[in-house]
C-alpha cells in the first residue's frame, strides 16, 4: 500500500476513533436521548447503516462463493479476502443494529424466544448460521497456514494455535494433498450452502421492509431483488476497492486481470441495479397519480434531493461508470470507482429507510400532539453519526488486525493451489513463518518490475 494512503487511513482512523469515543460514551450514559429519530420516524441512520453493511457482507460473500463453488479462476485470489470482508462487515452491521435497540441486553431473546412469523427473527437466525458458516469456511481455508505458523513458534504462536483449533498440518506430501482436497470439498459444500443462505438473508432484509403493508413504498415485490442486486454491487465494489488498494498477490499482470474482471463485474451489476431502480422510480411516477407520487417527488426534488442526485446518482453511479468504462486498466481508477460505489451506497440505503417514514399514516397526526419525538421529519444527529463512526472504526481495526495476523492476501485459486502446494511445501512453511503483515505489505506493493510473485503466494494452501 502506498505510504501516503496508509498515513491518510491512519489519520482517518484516529479521527473516527475520537468521534467514536464520544458517540459510545453518550450511548452508554444517556441512551438514545440525543438521537433524532422518534416514534413516527422510528428507524433512522443506524438502521440504514445496518442494511448498508449487511449488503456489503452479502455481496462480498456471494463473490467468495464464485471462487469456492463455481471455481471462477479470475477471482481465486480474492476468496479469502472476500470471506474475511464478509465477516467484518457482518459484524459492523450487527454492531450498528445493536446500538439501535431500546434494550440492547435483551438482543439474545431473538435466539431464546424467537417468533418465526417475524422477518426480523428469521434475519437473526440466518445471520447466526451465516456467521458460523463464514467462520467455518475461513477455518478450512486458513487452517494449514495457521497450523504452520503455530508450529513455527514465536510470540503469536499461541494465537495461531488457538485459531487453528489445535489442528496440525500433515508433513507427508500425499497426506497434505489429501488434506487440501478435503478442504476444497468442504469449502465447495459450505460455499454452496452459503449461497442460498446469503440470498435468503439479504433478500430477507428486503422482505423485512417489503412485508410491511403499512408502507406502500416498501411494500413491493421487487424489494428483495433490489436488495440482492444492491448487495452484489456494493460488496463487489468494496472488494474492487480493497484489491486496488491492497493488491491480492500474484504478478502485476495477474493483479491487473483480477481488477479488470472485478471492474467489469461491478460495471454490469451497477447497470443492472440502475435498471431496477429505474423501474422502481418510473412506474409510480409515470402518470403522476397515486399514493407514492408525493413521496418520490420529495426524494427527488425535496430538501434532501441532493442525497439522490449528488451522492447516489452522481458520485455513486455516473462517476464510477465513467471510471470503470474508461479506466479499467488503472489501479487508481478502479480503486476510486470501487470506493465511490461502496461508500455512496449508503445514500441508497438512507433513501430506502427514511423517506417513507416521513409521511403520516393519518393526515393531521403531526399536529395532533406536539413533541420532538412525534415529528414526521428526520435528519441524523451528530451523536448518531458518532456512533456510526464507532462502527466504522471498529470495523477498520478488525480488518487491519486481520490483514496483519492472517494470510488473507496470499490466497491462490483452489484448484491450482492444491497441485502447487505439494511441490512447494518447504517454501510454504518458510514463507508462512514470516510476519503476515510483512507478507501482506510485500504483496500489496508488488510492482511490474517484480514479475514473480513471492513464493508464499504460489505455495499457500487453499
Partner 1 sequence: MEQAGASLGKPRDTKGGRATRRELFARALAAAGGLSALALTREGLAKEPAILDRPDDWAPGNALERMRRDLERALAKPMEKRKWVMVIDLEKCIGCKACTVSCVAENNLPPGVVYRPVVEEERGEFPHVRKRFIPRPCMHCDNPPCTPVCPVGATWKRPDGIVAVDYDACIGCRYCLSACPYNARTADFGEFYTEGLAEGSEAFAGPRASGYETRPSFEYGKEWRRTPGSHASPMGNARKCQFCLHRIENHLLPACVTTCLGGATYFGDFNDPESLVHELVGSSRMMRLKEELGTEPSVFYLA
| Sites of contact with partner 1 (CB under 8 A) | 31-33, 35, 38-40, 42-43, 100-103, 106-107, 109-110, 113-115, 117-121, 124, 208, 211-215, 357, 360-365, 367-369, 371-374
The residue behind cell 502506498 is: 2
Element housing 246 (H / E): helix 223-246
Q: Apex CA 73: angle with CA 72 and CA 75, to 5°? A: 75
Q: How far is the CB of 222 from partner 1 (least distance, A)?
A: 19
Nearest approach in angstroms of CB 323 to partner 1 is 37
The set of residues, in sequence order, having a beta carbon less than 8 Å from that of 284 and lying 6+ positions away, is: 290, 292, 293, 296
Taking the least distance from each CB to partner 1, the nearer of 38 and 461 is 38
Q: Is 407 exposed, middle or buried (0-12, 13-18, 19+ CB in 10 A)?
A: buried
Name the residue among 308, 335, 315, 314 with its Cα closest to residue 324: 335
Nearer to partner 1, 289 or 368 (CB): 368
Q: Decide whether 107 or 173 has the Cβ nearer to partner 1.
A: 107
Backbone dihedral angles phi then psi of residue 369, each to the nearest 5 degrees: -155, 120
CB of 120 to partner 1, least distance (A): 4
| Shortest Cβ 95–partner 1 spacing (Å) | 15
CA quadruple 178, 165, 159, 150: dihedral sign: negative
Which one, 108 or 287, has the nearer CB to partner 1? 108
Query: Environment class of residue 73 by beta-carbon count within 10 Å: exposed (0-12), middle (13-18) or buried (19+)?
Result: middle
Closest distance to partner 1 from the beta carbon of 103 (Å): 5
CB of 97 to partner 1, least distance (A): 8
Q: 231 with 59: CB under 8 angstroms? A: yes
Amino acid at each position: 500500500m502506498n505510504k501516503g494512503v496508509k498515513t491518510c487511513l491512519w489519520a482517518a482512523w484516529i479521527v473516527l476513533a475520537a468521534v467514536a469515543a464520544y458517540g459510545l460514551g453518550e450511548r452508554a450514559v444517556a441512551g438514545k436521548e440525543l438521537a433524532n429519530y422518534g416514534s413516527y420516524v422510528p428507524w433512522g441512520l443506524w438502521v440504514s447503516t445496518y442494511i448498508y453493511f449487511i449488503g456489503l457482507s452479502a455481496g462480498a460473500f456471494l463473490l467468495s462463493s464464485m471462487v469456492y463453488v463455481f471455481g471462477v479462476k479470475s477471482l481465486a485470489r480474492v476468496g479469502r479476502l472476500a470471506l474475511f470482508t464478509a465477516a467484518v462487515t457482518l459484524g459492523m452491521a450487527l454492531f450498528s443494529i445493536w446500538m439501535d435497540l431500546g434494550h440492547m441486553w435483551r438482543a439474545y431473546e431473538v435466539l431464546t424466544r424467537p417468533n418465526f412469523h417475524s422477518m426480523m427473527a428469521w434475519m437473526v437466525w440466518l445471520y447466526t448460521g451465516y456467521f458460523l458458516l463464514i467462520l467455518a469456511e475461513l477455518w478450512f481455508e486458513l487452517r494449514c497456514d495457521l497450523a504452520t505458523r503455530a508450529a513455527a513458534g514465536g510470540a503469536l504462536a499461541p494465537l495461531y494455535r488457538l485459531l487453528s483449533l489445535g489442528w496440525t498440518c500433515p508433513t507427508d506430501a500425499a497426506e497434505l494433498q489429501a488434506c487440501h482436497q478435503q478442504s476444497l470439498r468442504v469449502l465447495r459444500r459450505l460455499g454452496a450452502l452459503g449461497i442460498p443462505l446469503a440470498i435468503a438473508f439479504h433478500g430477507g432484509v428486503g422482505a423485512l421492509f417489503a412485508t410491511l403493508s403499512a408502507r406502500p413504498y416498501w411494500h413491493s415485490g421487487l424489494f428483495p431483488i433490489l436488495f440482492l442486486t444492491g448487495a452484489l454491487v456494493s460488496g463487489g465494489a468494496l472488494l474492487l476497492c480493497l484489491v486496488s488498494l491492497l493488491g491480492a498477490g500474484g504478478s502485476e499482470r495477474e493483479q491487473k486481470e483480477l481488477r479488470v474482471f472485478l471492474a467489469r463485474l461491478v460495471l454490469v451489476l451497477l447497470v443492472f441495479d440502475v435498471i431496477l431502480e429505474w423501474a422502481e422510480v418510473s412506474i409510480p411516477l409515470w402518470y403522476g397519480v397515486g399514493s407514492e407520487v408525493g413521496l418520490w417527488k420529495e426524494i427527488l426534488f425535496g430538501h434532501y434531493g441532493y442525497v439522490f442526485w449528488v451522492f447516489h446518482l452522481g458520485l455513486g453511479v455516473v462517476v464510477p461508470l465513467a471510471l470503470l468504462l474508461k479506466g479499467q486498466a488503472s489501479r487508481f481508477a478502479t480503486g476510486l470507482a470501487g470506493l465511490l460505489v461502496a461508500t455512496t451506497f449508503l445514500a441508497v440505503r438512507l433513501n430506502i429507510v427514511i423517506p417513507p417514514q416521513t409521511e403520516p399514516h393519518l393526515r393531521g397526526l403531526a399536529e395532533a400532539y406536539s413533541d420532538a419525538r412525534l415529528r414526521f421529519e428526520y435528519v441524523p444527529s451528530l451523536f448518531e453519526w458518532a456512533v456510526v463512526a464507532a462502527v466504522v472504526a471498529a470495523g477498520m481495526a478488525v480488518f487491519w488486525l486481520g490483514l496483519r495476523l492472517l494470510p488473507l492476501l496470499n490466497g491462490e485459486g483452489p484448484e491450482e493451489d492444491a497441485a502447487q502446494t505439494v511441490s512447494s511445501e518447504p517454501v510454504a512453511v518458510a514463507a508462512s513463518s514470516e510476519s503476515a503483515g510483512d507478507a501482506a505489505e510485500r504483496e500489496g506493493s508488488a510492482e511490474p518490475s517484480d514479475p514473480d510473485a513471492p513464493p508464499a503466494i504460489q505455495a499457500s494452501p487453499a
